[in-house]
Amino acid sequence: MKSALSDCRALVTGASGFVGTWLTHHLLEQGAELTSILSELNPRSPFARMGLDKHIRCYYGSIADYHLIERAITDGRINTVFHLAAVSMQDLAYQIPWQTFETNVKGTYNLLEVCRIHRDQISKIIVASSDKVYGDSPILPYDEAMPIQGRNPYDASKSCSDLISQSYRHSFSLPVVVGRFGNIYGGGDLNFRRLIPGTIQRLYSRLQPVIRIPSDGIYMRDFLYIEDLVQAYMAMYHYDAHHGVEHIFNFGTGKLWDIQKVTSLIQRTMNLEHIEPHYEVHTGSEILHQHLSPERARTVLHWSADTPLEEGIRQTVDWYDRYWLSESHQATSGVV
């Protein structure tokens, strides 16, 4: 019997990251043949522990390396590109802005230029963008017709990547589809500076969860569960990028949550409501409220976020319980 994606030969950039791992696993389950460009392989990452690197063709180097990208695309006879690779943390982007622009901007235009040169073999290009491209807009929720206006290093880099992707579609008729996502959460995110995994990690160690608060209110975000995100990528994959009128889509739940309530929900899920959070004044330039309208994705792609936050948090906590139990077992067994 033919697999659902047996004709898909995809390059997944950023495959070893949090989102990339889930997407890679799903694509492999559906029968796709995969290639990736990785800067390195963290042996403790879910990607490595699941052995996904053994099931795909891996090239090691920089996503900004034009010749490496070209080799990966030609060797793998790639017909589909999922472009996820990026420096994705605001704090890190402030510390190393040059690397953020090198990865997020140069990586994008080199990848798209290779696709342009080899356009005869490329049928789909799906680019991961962000709600951060809308900048600090007072108009909520964001819709796809609003201007791109990222200002700080990360937001500006994603704005550039987004515009470059649109330019290659407009100027060269490349089959580009851009997905703009809100805050993504779920098991497998080992970046513990993020709210949900960081809160779970601290509570697991019976430490106070940290809630960062600005001087002028409370941060509010739209939280999208990882399995709904994977389905968003599949909705874009099955979309006719050549003939479809729309090519930019917001993906979110359409709901806003303040981070205090999210922290409280995690505590309730872990039965640790008695631990008082520690409030930390945040002086950075992070946007106060961010909220995406998913109406276009719902109407055109027939996609919706089906996982309630309460259920997504429960599944996420369960994932970390299993992960840390496994880590503990390996430590006591002397396995490195």
Pairwise CA distance, residues 320 & 56, whole Å: 25
Instruction: Band the pLDDT of 5: cuts 50, 70, 90.
Output: very high
pLDDT tens for 187-235 read 999 999 999 999 999 999 999 999 988 877 788 899 999 999 999 999 9
Give the per-residue pLDDT at 82.
98
**CATH assignment at residue 300:** 3.40.50.720
Q: For residues 41, 46, 51 and 53, what is the CA-based torsion angle, rounded to 10 degrees? A: -40
pLDDT tens for 112-136 read 999 999 999 999 999 999 999 998 8
26 inside domain: yes
Task: Indicate if the alpha-carbon torsion angle 84, 90, 94, 96 is positive or negative.
Answer: negative
Q: What distances in angstroms separate CA 186 from CA 18, 190, 218, one per listed residue?
A: 9, 10, 23
Pairwise CA distance, residues 177 & 267, whole Å: 38
Q: What distances in angstroms separate CA 242 from CA 33, 125, 169, 299, one per listed residue?
A: 22, 10, 9, 18
275 inside domain: no
**Among 154, 219, 225, 320, the one annotated catalytic:** 154
What does the mean pLDDT of the chain come to? 93
18 inside domain: yes
Structure tokens of 211?
Answer: 């809630």
Residue-number span of the structural domain to which 25 is assigned: 9-188+223-255+291-307
**142 counts as catalytic:** no
pLDDT tens for 141-158 read 999 999 999 999 999 999
Number of domains composing the chain: 1
145 inside domain: yes
